[in-house]
Homo-oligomer: A and B are copies of this chain.
Amino acid sequence: MDADIDADRAAVAAANQAFYDAFEAGSKEALFEIWEHSDRAQCTHPGWPILRGWDDVGASWAAIIDGPQQLQFVLTNERVEVEGDVGWVTVDENLLSNMGGGTVSAVNVFTRMADGWKMVSHHGSSVLPDLRR
Protein backbone atom coordinates (compact mmCIF):
# COMPACT_ATOMS: atom_id res chain seq x y z
CA MET A 1 0.00 0.00 0.00
CA ASP A 2 2.69 2.49 0.98
CA ALA A 3 4.82 1.42 -1.97
CA ASP A 4 1.84 1.97 -4.27
CA ILE A 5 1.27 5.44 -2.85
CA ASP A 6 4.94 6.28 -3.29
CA ALA A 7 4.79 5.07 -6.90
CA ASP A 8 1.61 7.08 -7.54
CA ARG A 9 3.15 10.18 -6.01
CA ALA A 10 6.25 9.77 -8.16
CA ALA A 11 4.09 9.36 -11.27
CA VAL A 12 2.05 12.48 -10.47
CA ALA A 13 5.25 14.42 -9.74
CA ALA A 14 6.62 13.29 -13.12
CA ALA A 15 3.46 14.40 -14.93
CA ASN A 16 3.67 17.76 -13.15
CA GLN A 17 7.32 18.17 -14.11
CA ALA A 18 6.50 17.22 -17.72
CA PHE A 19 3.93 20.02 -17.77
CA TYR A 20 6.49 22.63 -16.74
CA ASP A 21 9.15 21.16 -19.03
CA ALA A 22 6.72 21.42 -21.97
CA PHE A 23 5.82 25.00 -20.98
CA GLU A 24 9.47 26.00 -20.67
CA ALA A 25 10.34 24.32 -23.97
CA GLY A 26 7.43 26.10 -25.65
CA SER A 27 6.08 22.81 -26.94
CA LYS A 28 2.33 22.94 -27.47
CA GLU A 29 2.34 19.30 -28.52
CA ALA A 30 4.00 18.16 -25.30
CA LEU A 31 1.90 20.48 -23.13
CA PHE A 32 -1.36 19.38 -24.76
CA GLU A 33 -0.34 15.76 -24.21
CA ILE A 34 -0.28 16.35 -20.41
CA TRP A 35 -3.84 17.68 -20.33
CA GLU A 36 -7.11 15.82 -20.25
CA HIS A 37 -9.04 17.07 -23.28
CA SER A 38 -12.48 17.13 -21.72
CA ASP A 39 -15.27 19.40 -20.57
CA ARG A 40 -13.98 19.21 -17.01
CA ALA A 41 -10.54 20.57 -17.93
CA GLN A 42 -10.23 23.95 -16.28
CA CYS A 43 -7.61 26.59 -15.76
CA THR A 44 -7.17 29.87 -13.91
CA HIS A 45 -4.15 31.89 -15.02
CA PRO A 46 -2.85 34.61 -12.65
CA GLY A 47 -5.44 37.38 -12.46
CA TRP A 48 -7.77 35.62 -14.91
CA PRO A 49 -11.27 34.27 -14.48
CA ILE A 50 -11.77 30.51 -14.61
CA LEU A 51 -11.56 28.95 -18.07
CA ARG A 52 -13.64 25.79 -18.47
CA GLY A 53 -13.42 23.01 -21.00
CA TRP A 54 -10.46 21.94 -23.10
CA ASP A 55 -11.33 24.21 -26.03
CA ASP A 56 -10.87 27.37 -23.96
CA VAL A 57 -8.09 25.95 -21.79
CA GLY A 58 -6.09 24.67 -24.75
CA ALA A 59 -6.56 27.93 -26.67
CA SER A 60 -5.21 29.89 -23.71
CA TRP A 61 -2.08 27.76 -23.54
CA ALA A 62 -1.60 28.00 -27.29
CA ALA A 63 -1.75 31.80 -27.02
CA ILE A 64 0.69 31.84 -24.10
CA ILE A 65 3.17 29.57 -25.85
CA ASP A 66 2.86 31.50 -29.11
CA GLY A 67 3.33 34.78 -27.21
CA PRO A 68 6.48 36.86 -26.79
CA GLN A 69 7.43 35.69 -23.31
CA GLN A 70 10.27 33.24 -22.95
CA LEU A 71 9.89 31.63 -19.57
CA GLN A 72 12.19 29.65 -17.37
CA PHE A 73 10.85 27.94 -14.26
CA VAL A 74 12.58 27.17 -11.03
CA LEU A 75 10.09 25.08 -9.10
CA THR A 76 10.30 25.12 -5.31
CA ASN A 77 8.21 24.07 -2.36
CA GLU A 78 6.52 21.24 -4.26
CA ARG A 79 4.15 18.88 -2.54
CA VAL A 80 2.31 15.97 -4.10
CA GLU A 81 -0.78 14.28 -2.66
CA VAL A 82 -2.60 11.28 -4.10
CA GLU A 83 -5.91 9.77 -3.11
CA GLY A 84 -7.10 6.93 -5.34
CA ASP A 85 -7.17 8.12 -8.94
CA VAL A 86 -6.70 11.80 -8.16
CA GLY A 87 -3.45 13.61 -7.46
CA TRP A 88 -2.89 17.24 -6.61
CA VAL A 89 0.35 19.18 -6.59
CA THR A 90 1.05 22.52 -5.00
CA VAL A 91 4.21 24.27 -6.07
CA ASP A 92 5.83 27.68 -6.35
CA GLU A 93 6.68 28.58 -9.93
CA ASN A 94 9.62 30.97 -9.70
CA LEU A 95 9.66 32.60 -13.11
CA LEU A 96 12.58 34.08 -14.94
CA SER A 97 11.56 35.68 -18.21
CA ASN A 98 12.61 38.26 -20.75
CA MET A 99 9.71 40.39 -19.44
CA GLY A 100 10.51 40.24 -15.72
CA GLY A 101 10.27 37.62 -13.01
CA GLY A 102 8.04 36.68 -10.14
CA THR A 103 6.59 33.84 -8.15
CA VAL A 104 3.32 32.13 -9.00
CA SER A 105 1.78 29.72 -6.50
CA ALA A 106 -0.03 26.91 -8.26
CA VAL A 107 -2.28 23.98 -7.54
CA ASN A 108 -2.52 21.33 -10.25
CA VAL A 109 -5.03 18.47 -10.19
CA PHE A 110 -4.39 15.25 -12.10
CA THR A 111 -6.52 12.16 -12.70
CA ARG A 112 -5.34 8.67 -13.53
CA MET A 113 -6.39 7.77 -17.06
CA ALA A 114 -5.70 4.70 -19.24
CA ASP A 115 -2.74 6.56 -20.78
CA GLY A 116 -1.32 7.99 -17.58
CA TRP A 117 -1.92 10.88 -15.21
CA LYS A 118 -3.55 13.86 -16.96
CA MET A 119 -3.98 17.43 -15.75
CA VAL A 120 -7.63 18.40 -15.28
CA SER A 121 -7.17 21.62 -13.36
CA HIS A 122 -4.47 24.27 -13.09
CA HIS A 123 -4.74 27.38 -10.95
CA GLY A 124 -1.88 29.84 -10.65
CA SER A 125 -1.76 33.15 -8.80
CA SER A 126 0.96 35.72 -8.39
CA VAL A 127 2.49 36.01 -4.94
CA LEU A 128 2.69 39.63 -3.85
CA PRO A 129 6.34 40.60 -3.33
CA ASP A 130 5.64 41.78 0.24
CA LEU A 131 4.27 38.37 1.14
CA ARG A 132 6.94 36.29 -0.55
CA ARG A 133 8.91 34.07 1.77
Interface residues of A (CB under 8 A from B): 40, 42, 44, 46-50, 52, 77, 79, 81, 83-86, 88, 90, 92, 103, 105, 107, 109, 111, 120-121, 123-128, 131-133
Contact = CB atoms under 8 A, between A and B. Distances in A.
Contacts of A90: 42, 44, 50, 52, 121, 123
A120 B87 CA distance: 12
Contacts of A111: 83
A131 B48 contact: yes
Given A83-B84, A83-B111, A121-B88, A131 B47 contact: yes
A123 B109 contact: no
Contacts of A103: 49
5 smallest CB-CB distances across A and B, nearest first, come from A125-B125, A86-B86, A84-B84, A47-B128, A107-B123
A125 B46 CA distance: 7
A83 B85 contact: yes
Contacts of A120: 81
A106 B86 CA distance: 18
